[in-house]
Chain A
Amino acid sequence: MIIGLDVGGTHTDAVILSKNGIEKSVKVPTDPADLFNTVLSGFTQLLESIDPSQIRRVVISTTLTTNAIVQQTMEPVGMIVSAGPGIDPEFFRTGDHYYAVSGSINHRGREKAPVNEMQIQDIAGKLKDAGVEYVGVVSKFCVRNPSHEILIKRILNKYFKQVFLGHHVSGNLNFPRRIATTHLNAAVFALHKSFFEAVKKSLAEKGLTVPIQILKADGGTMSLEASMHFPGQTVLSGPAASIMGAIPYAPEGQDAIVLDIGGTTTDIAFLVDKAPLLEPVGIQRGRYKSLIRSLRTDSKGIGGDSALRVSDNVLSIGPDRQGPAMAFGGPLPTPTDALVVLGLMDTGDREKALAGIHTIAQGLGLSDEAAAEKVFKTCCTIILKKTFEMIDQINSQPVYTVHDFLEGYKLSPQKILLLGGPAPYFAKKIEDLYQIDTFAVPESAVANAIGAALARTTCEVSLNADTEQGIVTAHEEDFAEPISKTFSEDDLMETAYNLLREKAINSGADPENMDEVEVVEYQKFNIVRNFSPRGKIFRTKMQLKPGLIKGFEKMLHQRGNHAQSNA
């Protein structure tokens, strides 16, 4: 049996799955001020009358780091960045303890200006005096040559608890995002570490000693130990959990839309042949941009509890939530009230729902029924409009080769999978409005916990081989090896595969679930100077795709009987 637990904004869901289906699921309220006890009470209820030695796998998804960012309770971090030529690094300042230093590496990874060790010593002293314990070091083009970061770390090591280096964050280029991501890892490290050490200890006391896996924003898992180096990767794992939970029901060989309709927002994502689409560079939300691998999701501020208002004959929905629907004792009418009025939902107090919708109907000059219908239709239209905008955006993403321009993949979803509480009621309406096959995912209320339980380990490696300089590198993995002039594409792929495998095992992957390897990118260039060939540059990115672990496919299609206990 395996366990998935997903801490959401209002509820925390947890499930136990076996080959036969859902053995047990629980829902407990989330206490944002005490996530540790939230997680603990989830486990306590889940494990009641369960033999912990039967549990083979535990995956946890939390909002711990997300909350720390939103509430700005992150640790003060010292940042040392070396930029060389380009945009003024002052623009990327992360806080008070931010120092731009000398030293420069170019795009080929060649040193153009050395590190000034005296300058670093001096900054170390200042950081120490300011009481800083964690430091991030990022140099421009460190993914081509990390030697400056390594040298700076060597100087800093003895003064600080932990030093985080930019080249470990990602193999992707993007200096500003690398600064932000390194900073994030350093800033949530202490919080993440103490939280999960406590969770691990408590679970051990309950007799649950299997290694704990943590869900990442890309819908994959990593071991607790691996997460200590990159705690930032756990941000926004919540939407990822739900999307992964939709995968068992996604069509094979087709594109699908996943809509997770929550209380105040709807998350939107896409599946291509049962695999989720990823962000091309990394998570971004508004001005915050990172190199954290992530599912490509976006959200629209509309959900079952969005506040409904009318002004000047115009209906507005959300983006705020003033409480639950009036049918459940809330203060303002919501889309859920419209569902109740339309007779689609038979829970809640219909009289109260009707009273709420009546005020909307008056404002719009419609009958109650017509107003409820309008609310419902408008919700669907707004969510789908945003979805189609995302599809257009994905399909108009720039490409850099003639081949991709002419043959590049075009996303064209033929199914919509709905998740979340109101999902079953929305399915038919959306299908009627848009003529796209739409259905609510079975067990959609705990799909997030199922998604967490079943998510397999993911990872990516980026390699750069330069036969002119005679080296193949994957600096993110601390890998560099000399190569000969005859180094080939096959050699590159073999090296990449071995590194990927090693990385996956170190992240806690089960060797059985490591066959979904994908070459995300491959490029080859002849290096020519003065009209004569000097060598070749090869680049590749290879990943273990997000997806589900094997062995649970069958049970998910049967809607098994199981105990549901609510707290």
Chain B
Amino acid sequence: MLKAMHKTGLVFFPAFDWAIDPTHPEREERLLYTQDQVTEEGIFDIPGIIEYKPALATPKDIQRAQFCVPDEQTITTESHLISAGGAKVIADAVMGKEVQNGFALVRPPGHHSMRVSHGGRGFCHINIEAIMVEYIRTRYNVKRIAIIDTDCHHGDGTDNIFWHDPDVLFISMHQDGRTMFPGTGFPGELGGPNAKGSNLNIPLPPGTSTEGYLYVINNCVLPVLDEFKPDLVVNSAGQDNHYTDPLTNMNFCAQGYAQLTTLLKPDIAVLEGGYAIEGALPYVNLGIILAMAGIDYTGVVEPDYNPDKLKQSVSITDKIKKTVDQINSFWAQRLQLRDAAGTPGELQVRHREIYYDTDNIFERQKERVIICRDCGGSFEIDSRAMPGLHILGVHIPINACKTCIEKGYEFFESAPANTYDRIYLMDRPKDSYHTK
């Protein structure tokens, strides 16, 4: 009898009446054929697969993860809030042990949205995984979380939000930033001085096939997870590595995605990108759902699948092996790297420039973080958007030490009101958010 080996929760929210604009890849049609395939397969009738209705994320949920400028209402639509709310519903189902794991098939995606959000970047306005992860940490008191981003694009938003956080392991495997948006995610990008090695970026050469993806999972991601010992594994399940995706140049397939899911065993998967809506998504999503539920997926093969055509070259294989070796050695040295990154008590400054391709905004940031050995360290971000506002966001991490909490309030209170349009304080230990 057909039955889920693992009880699996699904939120399916295709937002059939929402698009960035009518011909944009992020449009109404995107999950239409996925819905057709999943419905025709009778997925929601399978004992052990439970469909949940999404909920609306609240401004409070977003304020745990991001500084929205000028505020949450201005830069989101209901669709963004339902998408983030859908991830939250799955988190509740998994954390409440109603299901063993869950998959939020929602749109729009979120992984390009950063700590400070002035609007849309890479089709993302708010970061749905980060909002979910911060919700889980506050509501369920979970300490160590790993986010594995398998979207073809560097998950630069999530990377940025957890940059200084040693308790959240963020691993992104993506097409090499030299060949694609957003142009970041190189092996040297390892997280902030207090959290070196808790962000791992694995660029893959164009043309990487199933063999390459599974090599990285088996030889890098799984061993690192074994050592990190997360309480929860989240997969940002982008599907744009597919060999037919119009925005990327990779050779991954439905069987590969399903196998990756079986290996990774995420507690929660959240859909990210994926724009081969007809030839890939119906099969990839079906494969992921079946893999999560522990149901045989060997029959889930794209009609035009031809493994011979998709084989990766020897030089690609070599490149991937070299990258994996490099990442593994960074990971092994992470504590030494943190020691070398700065002296406790010192303030470190970094400057960044961020371009919002979706909303055509240019942002300049100056970030100051306290070097701390006891926590992730409080930090402030001075951000000026053109067009847009000049703001200061102060973040006190959820596991902050006493000194860093005090320092966070000092940042906030001493910030000159006349310099900024808005000043925000995100106090994670108290789960509060202040604006002045």
- List A residues at the B interface (Cβ < 8 Å): 83-88, 91-92, 104, 106-108, 112-113, 140-141, 173-177, 284, 287, 289, 396-403, 405-406, 523, 525-528, 530-533, 537
A26 to chain B minimum Cβ distance, whole angstroms, is: 41
Complex Cα–Cα for A437 and B144 (A) = 53
B278, A108: Cβ atoms closer than 8 Å: yes
8 closest Cβ contacts across the A-B interface? Answer: A112-B303, A176-B42, A91-B2, A107-B36, A173-B40, A401-B17, A173-B39, A525-B29
B16 proximal to A (CB < 8 A): yes
Contacts of B45 in A (CB 8 A): 174, 176-177, 284, 289
B417 proximal to A (CB < 8 A): no
A261 to chain B minimum Cβ distance, whole angstroms, is: 30
Complex Cα–Cα for A88 and B290 (A) = 11
Nearest B residue to A87 via CB reads: B41
B156 to chain A minimum Cβ distance, whole angstroms, is: 23
With A140-B40, A402-B15, A403-B17 in contact, do A530 and B35 touch (Cβ < 8 Å)? no
Contacts of A532 in B (CB 8 A): 23
B13, A400: Cβ atoms closer than 8 Å: yes
Complex Cα–Cα for A287 and B301 (A) = 28
A361 to chain B minimum Cβ distance, whole angstroms, is: 40
Q: Which of B13, B36, B296, B300 contacts A173 (CB 8 A)?
A: B36
Complex Cα–Cα for A431 and B303 (A) = 59
A307 to chain B minimum Cβ distance, whole angstroms, is: 30
Contacts of A537 in B (CB 8 A): 29, 32
Q: Which of A85, A88, A112, A405 contacts B54 (CB 8 A)?
A: A405
B42, A85: Cβ atoms closer than 8 Å: no
B123 to chain A minimum Cβ distance, whole angstroms, is: 14
B211-248 interface mask toward A, CB cutoff 8 Å, 1 = contact, 0 = none?
00000000000000000000000000000000000100
B22 proximal to A (CB < 8 A): yes
Complex Cα–Cα for A84 and B40 (A) = 12
Complex Cα–Cα for A560 and B296 (A) = 63
A530 to chain B minimum Cβ distance, whole angstroms, is: 7
B28 proximal to A (CB < 8 A): yes
Q: Which of B51, B78, B282 contacts A405 (CB 8 A)?
A: B78
Question: Given A173-B36, A398-B51, 16 other A-B contacts at CB below 8 A?
Answer: A84-B303, A86-B40, A87-B290, A87-B299, A91-B1, A107-B33, A108-B278, A112-B304, A174-B42, A175-B42, A398-B53, A400-B13, A400-B16, A402-B79, A405-B54, A528-B22
Complex Cα–Cα for A215 and B305 (A) = 48
B283, A85: Cβ atoms closer than 8 Å: yes
A533, B42: Cβ atoms closer than 8 Å: no
Complex Cα–Cα for A284 and B45 (A) = 10
Contacts of B39 in A (CB 8 A): 173-174
Contacts of A113 in B (CB 8 A): 303
With A108-B33, A173-B40 in contact, do A401 and B16 touch (Cβ < 8 Å)? yes
Complex Cα–Cα for A525 and B41 (A) = 22
Name 28 A/B residue pairs within 8 A (Cβ), A-sorted: A83-B299, A85-B299, A86-B40, A86-B41, A87-B295, A87-B296, A88-B296, A91-B1, A92-B2, A108-B278, A173-B36, A174-B40, A175-B40, A175-B42, A177-B42, A289-B42, A398-B54, A400-B13, A400-B14, A401-B17, A402-B77, A405-B78, A523-B16, A526-B22, A526-B23, A530-B246, A532-B23, A537-B29
Nearest A residue to B52 via CB reads: A398
Contacts of A284 in B (CB 8 A): 45
Complex Cα–Cα for A287 and B79 (A) = 35
B12-30 interface mask toward A, CB cutoff 8 Å, 1 = contact, 0 = none?
1111111000110101110
A533, B32: Cβ atoms closer than 8 Å: no
A85, B302: Cβ atoms closer than 8 Å: yes
Contacts of A104 in B (CB 8 A): 303
Contacts of A403 in B (CB 8 A): 17
B11 to chain A minimum Cβ distance, whole angstroms, is: 8
Complex Cα–Cα for A370 and B93 (A) = 42
Contacts of B298 in A (CB 8 A): 88
Q: Considering only CB atoms and an 8 Å cut-off, how many residues of chain B contact the other chain?
A: 51
Q: Which of A92, A106, A533 contacts B23 (CB 8 A)?
A: A533
A226 to chain B minimum Cβ distance, whole angstroms, is: 26
Complex Cα–Cα for A92 and B13 (A) = 27
Complex Cα–Cα for A176 and B39 (A) = 10
Contacts of B320 in A (CB 8 A): none
Q: Which of A175, A289, A402 contacts B78 (CB 8 A)?
A: A402
Contacts of B37 in A (CB 8 A): 86, 107
B296, A107: Cβ atoms closer than 8 Å: no
B29, A86: Cβ atoms closer than 8 Å: no
Instruction: Specify which of A85, A104, A112 lies most central, judged by the most chain B CB atoms within 10 Å of its CB.
Output: A85
Nearest B residue to A111 via CB reads: B303
Complex Cα–Cα for A396 and B246 (A) = 36
Nearest B residue to A396 via CB reads: B53
B82 proximal to A (CB < 8 A): yes
B302 to chain A minimum Cβ distance, whole angstroms, is: 7
Q: Which of A85, A174, A175, A530 contacts B303 (CB 8 A)?
A: A85
Contacts of A108 in B (CB 8 A): 33, 278
B283 to chain A minimum Cβ distance, whole angstroms, is: 6
Nearest B residue to A107 via CB reads: B36
Contacts of A527 in B (CB 8 A): 29
Complex Cα–Cα for A177 and B44 (A) = 11
Complex Cα–Cα for A397 and B28 (A) = 21
A85, B301: Cβ atoms closer than 8 Å: yes
Q: Which of A85, A397, A405, A526 contacts B82 (CB 8 A)?
A: A405
Complex Cα–Cα for A309 and B326 (A) = 72
Nearest A residue to B15 via CB reads: A402
Contacts of A92 in B (CB 8 A): 2
